[in-house]
Structure 1
Amino acid sequence: MCQRRYVDDILKRFAMDECKAVVSPVDMSTRLVPSDAATKVNAPFREANPQEEHWVAVKRIFRYLQGTKTHGICFKPGNKIDFRGYSDADWAGDLADRKSTSGYTFMLMGAPVSWGSKKQSSVSLSTSEAEYIALSLAIQEGKWIHRLLCEILAAANETGPELMIREDNQSCIKMTKNPVNHGRAKHIDIKYHHIRDEVKRGEVKLEYCETSLMLADIMTKALPGPRHMDLTTALGIHACSH
């Protein structure tokens, strides 16, 4: 799945069709005005009154598109349905209000079919809490995709895969499985504790994932060029042959 023609049209519309390519969409050294203080993946789009620094940030995205316009989402063939999710969060990444950012991605046959990045509505007091809130968002999205996938497979008399979500914070995983030891979680809004019920009923399975292998990391913050390229490759984004 590639959108080279669409990218070419956008670059021409903004007179950026001859710009020099870069390897990542956000410069790690970028610091926007206080209302958008941190280097967030969605920062250029949340500013109602953009300044010069915001235009520079958007032009960087154009330059990234210039270098990746031949890239697309590539699915891998296989006899077994490969479906899994990844959930991640930064911690207090917004320098203005110290709120964290949730990120998730769901992979099907080696390529992303759903992904999201959302600023959390409250300040998290620990990395575990930020990850726990992010996991709630990922489970909500994952259950919808999983249900749809199972219905499609049922029509072909096939059994759907389990809903497996990978998480790189072991304390977060423990919070979902041991509600008795709730010292770190008792202050967390009750709306997020549906996670425990989902895990207890076996509707969602959590698996520990090393941070270096966490694909949703790309959804939570700006990354160095090499790390960004490693993750896009792992996400199944490659140069298209056509």
Structure 2
Amino acid sequence: MNQFVYKQASGITALSASFHEFSYKKHAHDEYALGVTLDGIQKFSSRGSIHASCPHGVMLFHPGFVHDGWAHEHQRLDYVMIYVDESKMKAILDTNEPHYFKDSVVYDKTLERLVYNTAFTILNDCDPAFCDDAFTLLGAHLGGLMTDAKINREHQRIQKIKWILRNTEGEPLRLDDVATAVGMSKYQMIRIFKAAVGLSPYQYYLSCKLSRAKKLIEETKEVYTAVTAEHFVDLSHLNKHFKNTYGVTANTYAKSLI
């Protein structure tokens, strides 16, 4: 049986997952995501490479990091994750600049313990003060694993495309307009964006819609509010894409937060 348990505390979302047949579709998070593989092997692909996190491996995803995920050879996989808002991560790192993880999977016993402890306090409904303490200790250890963003012309254009896609709300996505805004032809933009990010502009746009829908559900506990606000065809349309990305339907996720 596949199991996905989400809980929140102190502005951090924690996930406890156990599955063998499920696989995540390619997506990106607005948050930083850090996870510990407890049992089994989790595989995921990104930018043309396949990565594997074995037991005690720590998975590190920065915002916008496009990836999928599955259990190696459909064996049982157990892991925990925490999702941290970018503003909260910047505060704990005491910086206003975006930072990226140098590696996608590391084996660091101290980091493993700190990520697990943060997830444990949230998943077990501990006092929020314990969660804040655990995350503070984690933040102090993260600096050496991260690097400043490398700014060049192509990076700037990709970031501008991402910004436009994230902020295209309540209106149809017009790729010709996006391409014009960054001085490219539509097909040149699609090709360069997919090569750099791992998703087409439309797929990234859909991922942003799902991320906003998730936040709305967290704030309102109402799935139909998310359907309407993000212009999904209906609840089944939202549920289908939500489950492919987060492992559970929007309905189930909303119930987990009550």
TM-score of the superposed pair, with normalisation by structure 2: 0.25
Give the structure, 1 or 2, with the largest relative contact order (CA under 8 Å, sep 6 or more): 1
Asked which structure has the greater CA Rg, the reply is 1
